[in-house]
Structures are given as C-alpha cells and as structure tokens.
Amino acid sequence: MFWAEALKEPGKDLTGEVGAPGRVAVKDWKKTYRERLTTAAEAVRLIKSGDRVSVANAVGEPSFVIDAMIDNREAYRDVEITHMLPMGKCQFAQAGMEKYFRLNSTFVGGPTRETVKAGHGDFTPCYFSQIPNLYDRTLPLDVALIHVSPPDKNGFCSCGVSIDYTRKSAEVAKIVIAQVNANMPRTLGDTFVHVSKITALVEHDAPLIELPPPKITDVERAIGENCAKLINDGDCLQLGIGAIPDAVLLFLKDKKDLGIHSEMFSDGVVELAEMGVINHSRKNFMPKKAIATFLMGTRRLYDYVHDNPSVHMAPSTWVNDPFIAGRNDNLVSINSCVQVDLLGQVSSETVGYTQISAVGGQVDFVRAAALSRGGRSIIAMASTAAGGRISKIVSLLDEGAVVTTNRCDVEYVITEYGIANLKYRTSRDRARMLIDIAHPDHRDKLKDGFERRFKVKYSGGVSVYLGAWPQRPSV
C-alpha cells in the first residue's frame, strides 16, 4: 500500500517527522518500519531522472543501495549526485556514466579526480562547516541515500560513522533511502534519524569500508616528532587525514590528559585512548568526550565508538564551526598541504590546475585554533614530493593552484627539517623561516626566489622557533 503510493507520486515529500502529527504517525514506529521495509531494487525506483541525490559521506556510504542505483541506471537521465569524500567505488562518477549521473562533489579524491579533471563532474568549493547548509539553500535535495544502524527501542537509527552533512540530508530530502546495517556502529550525540523520517528501509548487513592505518615513512616520523614538540599535556587535538596525523600520535604516548575535538579521527586515537593518554579530562568544552563529525578506520575503531558515551558525534555545522571548536582551550589543529609559497600561502587541494582534494575542515580548524585560548594551528608536510624532485615550499604557487589557507590565518608550518612560526611575522621573515625548513637541495632556488620577490639580497635565515608555546592571553 505504502509502496504503491510512493511510486505513484514521484517528487512528493514522503518523509515524516518525529513530533509532527498529521504527517506520519510515529507512535507505532515498528509498524512504519515494516511498511517501509523493501529491497534495494525497489527503493531506487523512487529516484527519478533530473533528481538531486545526496550520498552519505566517506566510509558511511550505503554501498548496497548505490550498487542497486547503478544497476537501475537505464531508468535515469541526468541524476545529480552530491557527495563529499569518495571512499567507495563511486561508479556513478566513472567514465560511461555521464548520461545517467552527473557528479557535483564538495571534495575530490582518488575515484573522482579524473571525473572532475575531465569535466564530467563538478566540484563545489565549500568549508566543511557549511556543507550541510548547501542543502537548505543552493542544492535542495530530492533524495538522500543514507546508511544507518538498526533502530533502537524508540525507533531511532544512528548515522554511525558519518554524521557530517549526512544527518542533515535525511532531514531535508523529500525521499530518504536508508541501508540498515547491523555493522554500522550506533554512535551517540546528534546522530539519529527516526524511522518515521525514512521513506525506504533496506536491510543489508555488510562490513563497512575500512581504511587501514597508513604506512609511516621516516620523513613522516620526523614531521610527527616536530609536531609533537608543540603539543603539551592537556591539549585538545584536531587531526587531519593521512600518515602525518598518525605519525604525530606515535610521539604522544608520553603525554597526559589529551582531548579530541576533530572533524574526524581514526584508529590511532583509539590506541591512545585505550592507553589512557587521551582521556579528555582537561577539556573545558564538552569535557570527557571526543568530538567528531565523521570517522574512518578499521573495525577496531567502529567497535570502539559503538554505544560509547565518551564519543560525541554531531553535524559538521557544529563540530567544525570555528566558534564552537574554538571554545576548547589549547586546541591544536594539525593538517597537511600540497604547497606553501614564501609568503606562507597554503595550497592544500590542487596540483597546478588539477583539483586533487578540497578545503575540507582545514580552514575551519585553523581558525578555531586561532580563536582558542592557548590554541595553535599546524600545517605539516614533507618538504618534497615526487621522490624529492619537487619542493613543496615554493617561491610562487604553481600556475592554477588555489590558496586554501590564507597567509594571515597560517601559524606554524612544519616539515621534517623543522618548525616555522609565521604568525605576525614580516613577509621577509616568513620567507626566511620557510627556506630554513625546506629540503636543502631546493634552498638555493628558493633564495633566488626570495631575491626576486623582495628585491634585496638574501641574508641568511632566522632561527626557527622550537621552544614551548607561550600562553596566549585570554580572548
């Protein structure tokens, strides 16, 4: 009965809402659940040509439902897919799919780089703290594809590892299709969607996508060790994605009472939490809890966060809001980049004209750290790329490169060669400090660049800051 109605009126808002009598009865959620339980093949018939469809972020993508949507592609023309971090196959973005699907992504990664580069897909630049707002304003959603834990006794399903924009997509889309998976951890916080809000429920238990811990090279260890020099007992950490944040964690095992308020975290944090190094005990904001908007790691992480009251997850509009995250005293943000020029302009998302990544939460957290009493922001990177051929510290950003974090926001830049504290320093001092932490093979070229830019003879470096961070006055 429900399905006959649902398929008859494409485009009709089929969601209900807890506490919204007259739309959908929620008092007997089990009945609603049974009525809306269906197969993936049936559920994806709710998607119509020309719809805008959001797909849950990163390892939270509902792969089983996406596969059914791909199988049903001949029924679609020009379905716009909005998505962020591509961790699955992203078949909808691959060559040959252009007739059926059009990608509009807020992030670019491995499986979508070629799509955007070739012009088969679009990229929308947006701070992660604002991505959920796109769905209110510029990108109203027809359909949200989400991935949830089984309902609890009150009929609430958790969006698990991806709350970010995913929970918001379920609030605002006209049609919500959920893969219900017993392997999805039930994370706590502002993570829940009520069964009454979901149009189609597809039960399918499958392992979540896992991201194994990265291999850490000697260069990354050296960078991690330099970053750890700036981290004090009791600090609250934000860690970006990849080998460098994991390398930093290796050097924190002797610290005490660290806390987490981070866009995401991974297995490395679980290890330190189990050792008692991370315990959130000195956090002044949301004490005793790790804060995150999405998670990526192995089953060890997913088991750790399941029903764990010491992990609080919430949408990125809250977690990444600089004025929220900045309420943590001693917030240390650690992120990485592609290039830094001699003025300290940080490019984190392009290689020349090619978009390879996105701003994500980098600027949100650089600014949060600036607002935090005693906060510090770190951009940490290897001094070179391409096996040492290319310096990541450059006189001028590559033609086509975008500035992700602007030079007035940037504070510490760290490589395996040292630490440069650029904040409030003159342009020439910044350049000297950056040359000091560049790879020795590239320093002469950078000194030429210095002389070209500043029209003065390069006269040696300044000593890089290696001491303990002085307490910043209260703001």
264: contact with ligand COA by CB under 6 A:
yes
Q: How many residues comprise the chain?
A: 475
362: contact with ligand COA by CB under 6 A:
yes
Pinpoint the alpha helices (H) of 15-59.
Answer: 29-36, 40-43
Q: Alpha-carbon distance 344 to 397, whole Å? A: 10
390: contact with ligand COA by CB under 6 A:
yes
Q: Nearest approach, Cβ of 352 to ligand COA (angstroms)?
A: 8
Instruction: Please pick, from the candidates 162, 196, 348, 355, the single residue that binds ligand COA as defined by CB under 6 A.
Output: 348
Instruction: Please pick, from the candidates 223, 337, 368, 370, the single residue that binds ligand COA as defined by CB under 6 A.
Output: 337
How many CB atoms within 10 Å of residue 458?
18
Q: Nearest approach, Cβ of 451 to ligand COA (angstroms)?
A: 22
Residue with tokens 């029209």: 455
The one segment of 91-99, 357-365, 406-414, 467-475 that binds ligand COA by CB under 6 A: 357-365
229 CB-contact burial (10 Å; exposed 0-12 / middle 13-18 / buried 19+): middle
Nearer to ligand COA by C-beta: 151 or 449?
449
112: contact with ligand COA by CB under 6 A:
no
Rounded to 5°, angle at Cα 168 from 4 and 144: 35
Q: Nearest approach, Cβ of 4 to ligand COA (angstroms)?
A: 44
259: contact with ligand COA by CB under 6 A:
no
Instruction: Please pick, from the candidates 37, 70, 209, 351, the single residue that binds ligand COA as defined by CB under 6 A.
Output: 351
Q: Nearest approach, Cβ of 11 to ligand COA (angstroms)?
A: 35
- Buried b / exposed e over 116-152, threshold 16 CB at 10 Å, is beeebbebeebbbbbbbbbbeeebebbbbbbbbbbbe
The one segment of 2-10, 20-28, 135-143, 345-353 that binds ligand COA by CB under 6 A: 345-353
Bridge partners for 347 per DSSP? 339
Nearer to ligand COA by C-beta: 213 or 242?
242
| 354 backbone dihedrals φ, ψ, rounded to 5° | -90, 125
Name the active-site residue from 61, 263, 349, 416: 263
Nearer to ligand COA by C-beta: 196 or 404?
404
Rounded to 5°, angle at Cα 298 from 324 and 226: 60
59: contact with ligand COA by CB under 6 A:
no
* Residue 321: CA count within 13 A, CB half-sphere: 10
Bridge partners for 430 per DSSP? none
Residue 68 near residue 40 (C-beta atoms within 8 A): yes
Q: Nearest approach, Cβ of 161 to ligand COA (angstroms)?
A: 14
Q: Alpha-carbon distance 7 to 417, whole Å? A: 62
How many CB atoms within 10 Å of residue 359?
18
Nearer to ligand COA by C-beta: 158 or 336?
336
400: left (phi over 0), alpha (psi -120 to 50) or beta: left
Tokens of 173: 């889309």
Instruction: Please pick, from the candidates 17, 203, 242, 298, the single residue that binds ligand COA as defined by CB under 6 A.
Output: 242
Q: How many residues bind ligand COA (CB under 6 A)?
A: 22
Give me the 189-228 binding string for ligand COA, x by CB under 6 A, dash otherwise: ----------------------------------------
163: contact with ligand COA by CB under 6 A:
no
Nearer to ligand COA by C-beta: 230 or 378?
378
432: contact with ligand COA by CB under 6 A:
no
Pinpoint the alpha helices (H) of 372-436.
Answer: 427-436
Nearer to ligand COA by C-beta: 199 or 339?
339
Instruction: Please pick, from the candidates 392, 430, 432, 442, the single residue that binds ligand COA as defined by CB under 6 A.
Output: 392
3-class state of residue 78 by DSSP: coil
Q: Alpha-carbon distance 463 to 433, whole Å? A: 7
| 448 residue type, one letter | D
Pinpoint the alpha helices (H) of 53-96.
Answer: 63-71
Nearer to ligand COA by C-beta: 385 or 402?
385
Q: Alpha-carbon distance 132 to 102, whole Å? A: 20
Residue list 367-386, contact with ligand COA (CB under 6 A)? 385-386
C-alpha R_g of the chain: 23
Q: Is 61 a catalytic residue?
A: no
The one segment of 63-71, 150-158, 321-329, 344-352 that binds ligand COA by CB under 6 A: 344-352
Q: Alpha-carbon distance 24 to 31, whole Å? A: 11
Residue list 221-240, contact with ligand COA (CB under 6 A)? 240
Q: Nearest approach, Cβ of 218 to ligand COA (angstroms)?
A: 15
336: contact with ligand COA by CB under 6 A:
yes
Q: Which residues bind ligand COA (CB under 6 A)?
A: 240-242, 263-264, 335-339, 348-349, 351, 356-357, 360-362, 385-386, 390, 392
Residues involved in catalysis? 263
